[in-house]
Structure 1
Amino acid sequence: MTDEDSETSASEAQAQEENELPIIQLCALVEELSYGNSALKTETEMFEKYYNKLEPRDQRSLRLSEIKISGAEITQLQGRWRSKSRIGVDRVTALTVDQKCELVQRELEDAKDEIRHMRANAERDLQHHEAIIEEAEIRWIEVQTEVHEFKKDILKTVSKKKGSILATQKMMKYIEDMNRRRDNMKDKLRLKNVSLKVQRKKMLLQLRQKEEVGEALHEVDFQQLKIENAQFLEMIESKNQELIQLKLASGNTLQILNAYKSRLQRAMEMSVHLDKEFLLRKELLKKIEKETLQAEEDRAKAMTVNKQLRKQLAEFQVPQVMLYIQEKIRIGDLEKTIRMWERKVEIAEMSLKGYRKAWNKMKTTNEQLQAICPPGK
């Protein structure tokens, strides 16, 4: 009793402290507790689903019968729960994180299986409804064609010839044709159904034979298959090693190839440069050849001139000294006469200029006189 009194006093004190809290903190506490309650509710629902899947129905009914207790015991338990609410929450053994994760994973797998089954059922129903719709459309087209033919063949003749024997005969013939076509269709469908049943039996027999052969092989040759599997695994491992070696070799060859490619690129660039230089040198050689030909021609001309000069030099005779002196004196006299005549020409030009000025003055005065007094007056 002392423990219960102490627990009740502690709970009452905590309740008083909670009553003394402000409204904002109380709202936050209520939201936090509601969030925790919702999380616990979802966990409880998941645990109940998992427990219901694991526990058989007989044991579940026994558990429910054991759980039924009297009303007084319920009230007593409620009172105890109220007094031990804070301590009882701490004493409850909760699920671990791994167990919760396992439960969630199983629930997720079950949900995925249910979704998969629902999707398969929905696809099956969709295909079934599509087939029904397609069959209805085909049947509707057939009905429309039959109605059109009936209107074309029977109704027109009946409307034209009312009460005639020909219309009734056509009607009877049309009905007989329809019955005959239906009988033919029924026979075709029956034969098709029989052939499909035979095909289904063959397929089932083949499937059963394959299953039996598969079971026989599984029972008889399992060890041999394991040995072959091990051999194939060894072969795969060796092939993988070979593949790794080939990859390494291919990497080395790629490096060498890249090096040779870079060399080839440099060689190509050098070749292009050498081709350009070769063209330039070729053009320069052509120019040099032209200059050489021109120099040869100039040399030939110079040789001919040199020969002529040498010939003249060989044929040249030096004159006598007295003749040279006389010629020199004559040249001096001629130069003096030239200077004298040049002086005379300058004097004559100056006198000519004076005469021209006087002539121009006389001409202007004459023109002025003629302008003042004309000759007729």
Structure 2
Amino acid sequence: MADNESVTTSSQDQQDDPLYNLSDDDLAQLLEDLQMGNKALLNETEMFDKYLKRVEPNMAAMATVAPTPSQSTLDNRVMRKRSKSKGSGIDKHLKLSSEQKCDISQREIEELREEIEKLKEESEKVLDNYKAVMEEADTRCAELKKSRYEFERDILKGSVNDRTKKVVAEKVIRYYEDKHRSRDALIEKLRLKNSTLKVQKKKLHLQLKQKEEMGEVLHEVDFQQLKIENSQYLEKIDERNQDLLRLKLMAGNTLQVLNSYKKKLQTLTMESDRLRNEISSRNELLSRIDTETETVEEERSSAEELNRRLRHQLEDYKVPEVVEYVQEKADLYELQKTVKSWERKVEIAEMALKTHRKTWQQMRMSSEHQQWGVMA
């Protein structure tokens, strides 16, 4: 009996399980979605943990304490239901709203921006130090190059004896004495500058003592009062920041609506331009069609006039008689015969003209030859 009850309970649990009827692909997709959700929740938890550690470190320390495990139940189905009910209750009580998440993320972004600005300032300071060191090194290198050039110019080249090819000791000693005097002058200049700075420092100390004696200097109580006022101002600043975040959200929503309306306006203006161009093209086509219609109407009227005249001529036309037609045909044949005879006569005359021209050319050529012979 116990085995039957366990089998029935396991079969019922399988039926109650929503994952029992899913395929492997669905389970893999569900697992991937759960992993992505867990990653998002892990990022949100890390951000909230950072926020708590920064704002209220005591609460963050209490939140890190592990909760006590619940008592185990005998029935798996009851345990699943209880866990579901507990999880839903925890989700209802402990989940953050979207506005709270937005506020936390906005504050984290501001903190990151402040850290980035601090890092930028520190890096700029380091870069300035390095630049100062490089400038000092460059100035020292320039001074060394200048002193080397002067030493080579004045000692190695300018103080060499032409006869012995050796350096004159007096010039070397004079060179180093001049260098020492210039260094002593620089030291004296820096000493005077240092003394003036000390005098200024003493004056500032005296002014500070006078302010302390007159009570113008801040004491510990004043600092405490300033801290309290600073905390109050910080609370006001937080309230203003929340208001600012709310206004930023409203501004973002209005900006999105404005962008959507701008896109709609752009599309409508483009559609209006397209329709305007299409209307202009249609008007041009209509004007061309009107001109073509006018020309067609003129041609139609002229064709109707011609048709009317032809109809009038057709109405007035009379067919000649057969005898007249035969007579006209006979006359036509006679005229064709005379034309052919005249054409034949013309051909004969042209042939005779060609022969006469040839004889004339021959006679003229012979006469020219005779004239050339007589002249010779």
TM-score above 0.5, yes or no? no
Structure ranking higher in helix proportion? 1
> Shorter chain as normaliser: what TM range?
0.3 to 0.5
Structure with higher RCO (Cα < 8 A, 6+ apart): 1
